[in-house]
Copies of this chain bind each other. A is one copy, B any other.
């Protein structure tokens, strides 16, 4: 079990839905990553469980957004690396756009509401 990163927020599970998938793809986009590493990276942003990230990786691989390959490690069992496919990049782009729009829309409402207080 990974220890909880300090300063990381524990929030409503529901808020994470869909966003974790996007975060994982954005992290893998820059360079290939293995699962355990991804759990650590995402944990720096949002409090998250191992048992949450691995299923996401499996799902995105099944849907051909990721390709995988194994590499031996000196620090434990072999690591499964994830690589973002062309299809994955499209998916990432789409999700990022949708998240941005959604977020802007909600933020705009929150700001207008603040003004009326």
| A interface residues with partner B (beta carbon < 8 Å) | 9, 11-19, 21, 23, 26, 30, 45-46, 95, 98-99, 101-103, 105-107, 109-110, 113, 116
A59 to chain B, nearest CB (A): 12
Is B12 a contact of A95 with CB atoms below 8 Å?
Answer: yes
Give the chain B neighbours of A12 by CB distance below 8 A: 18, 95, 98-99, 102
Known contacts A17-B15, A19-B15: A103-B95 contact under CB 8 Å? no
- Cβ of A9: which chain B residues have Cβ within 8 Å of it? 98, 101-102, 105
New contact pairs (14) apart from A23-B106, A23-B109, A103-B107, CB-CB < 8 Å? A9-B98, A9-B101, A9-B102, A11-B101, A11-B102, A12-B99, A14-B21, A15-B18, A15-B19, A15-B99, A26-B109, A26-B110, A45-B109, A46-B106
